Amino acid sequence: MAIKIAGQDLSGEDLPIDFMLINTKYRLFGSVLVLLEKKRNEEIDTARIKFENKRATLEYKPEFIDSLSLDDKVFVMMHEAGHLMLASFSRGVNKDPIIWNAATDIIINELLERNYGLKKPKNCLGYKTLRDIGAEMPKGFGSSHISAPSAEEVYKMIVGVVVSIRYEGEYAIVLLKNGKEVKVKAIDLPFESVECDPNMLGKIKGVIREYEEANYGDKNGDFLRQLKMVAGAYFPFEQVLKRVFEKRKLDFSRRNRRFIEKGTFFPRRKNPRFVVYAAIDVSGSCFYYTDHFLKLLTAMPEFEEAVFFDVSIVKILKKGEPTPTVLNGIGGGTDLKEVMDRWINIEQKNRGKKLNFVCLTDGYVPVLTRLPKEQPLVLTTHKKIPGCKNIVIGAT
């Protein structure tokens, strides 16, 4: 029996893009996919987005589309659109493309289920896939929005069970530690933004920006924010903070007992105990980096506290306290004055300790007239703050 919605025949090889455009719940995905050319391709197994001469085409196998229910068709199209959106802020550089594609497939599928209530079609990748291949999964893995794993975490889980990958024509044969072999279509890989026509990419980014700025609680806006948080905007906080915080100095005050050589004086390593105080901008501009940054900080034994601020301090998280699930400010601007006053006071009460002050912000703050003696490290998504050590981590 033919399926028709608003005069659109959704049976056979027809795609539900027009349906998604008139349905507010899925309009985000229809707005992206309607920008693409559509092409039937009997040589592929399912559907894919292909780039030739920087032109994006949605290719699909009619028999595959015909075999799906309407919900499954919609899910498949949403998945393909998800990869298009992800390419606007992809971070798959220097990773095995087969494994990274699987990791992003899992993330996209799980977020689609979580936000839209659609069930994954048969054989789609998800958290169950990780269990099936014997990946080591932490307790409570993926049980809530806050604990949603990043694409990097899923990538590492898959790497941990992969023995080897060999290629046979257009297929990749993945050998797992449990002895199983998985056959993957190597041609269906995620693309990088450089492969896309700049005009097309600009249009996609325009659609993303429109829905991304929607009020919280909007399913499309929430999906984009979550997608970017777990598989998009990225900065190597671990490497940067380790280099900044763990400054090792040489101590020449006493002889080094480990290295004894007549007539030679070997200094000892001087590693003073350091403590970390953080400030996180919750005005909205740093949303995509906050979760990763906060998880790293709170796991450090040197962590003391994190203050969340916009125009003033809105919350203080002490060492050992549970991470807040909502990190929204009251809006209306950003100001670091109250944070700096707090850090100056902490510094005065902790003379002799190696204090580290680190702030995540967009940098759009009034000029600071007072700063602690220990120069704060500012990780800024936009503007540098005078008087501080600034590292620009990229605009969101």
Beta bridge partners of 305: 277, 318
Once rounded to an integer, what is the mean pLDDT over residues 82-98?
Answer: 74
Residue 231: is its pLDDT beyond 80?
no
pLDDT tens-digit readout, 132-154: 899 988 776 665 544 567 788 88
Rounded-to-integer distance, Cα 340 and Cα 65, Å: 58
pLDDT of residue 77: 93
Looking at residue 254, what DSSP letter applies? Answer: S
Ranked by mean pLDDT, the top range of 147-151, 267-271, 375-379 is: 375-379
Confidence of residue 163 (pLDDT cuts 50, 70, 90): very high
Residue ranges of domains in the chain: 4-231, 237-392
Closest-CA residue to 99 (of 41, 22, 156, 38): 156
As its CATH architecture, domain 237-392 has 3-Layer(aba) Sandwich (3.40)
> Which residue is associated with the tokens 């105080």?
277
Of all residues in the chain, what percent carry a pLDDT higher than 90? 29
pLDDT band at 251 (very low <50, low <70, confident <90, very high): very low
Res 171: pLDDT: 80
Chain segment 287-340, per-residue pLDDT in tens? 667 877 888 888 888 899 999 998 999 999 999 998 775 555 445 578 999 999
Give the pLDDT score at 202.
Answer: 79
pLDDT band at 7 (very low <50, low <70, confident <90, very high): very low
More confident residue, 90 or 336: 336
Over range 160-189, report the average pLDDT: 83
Mean pLDDT of 158-172: 88
Picking from 74-78, 83-87, 89-93, 121-125, which range would have the lowest pLDDT averaged per residue? Answer: 89-93
Give mean pLDDT, residues 1-16: 49
Mean pLDDT of the chain: 80
Q: Is the pLDDT of residue 6 over 50?
A: no
**What does each C-alpha distance from 140 to 130, 149, 201, 342 come to in angstroms?**
14, 11, 37, 36
pLDDT of residue 85: 85
Assign 302 to helix, strand or coil.
Answer: coil
pLDDT at residue 263 is higher than 70: no
Report, as an integer, the average pLDDT of 19-31. 90
Whether residue 253 has pLDDT greater than 60: no
Cα distances (angstroms) measured from residue 315 to each of 106, 193, 229, 310, 329: 34, 38, 21, 10, 9
5: its two tokens: 């919605």
Looking at the predicted structure, is the pLDDT value of residue 118 above 60? yes
The stretch 232-241 carries a mean pLDDT of 73
Query: One-letter amino acid identity for 146?
Result: I
The pTM of the full predicted model, rounded to 2 decimals, is 0.62
Phi and psi (nearest 5°) for 363? Answer: 85, -5
pLDDT digits (tens, 9 = 90+) for 201-210: 778 888 887 8
Q: CA Rg, the chain, in Å? A: 25
pLDDT at 92: 64
Model pLDDT for residues 335-350, shown as the tens digit of each residue: 999 999 999 999 999 9
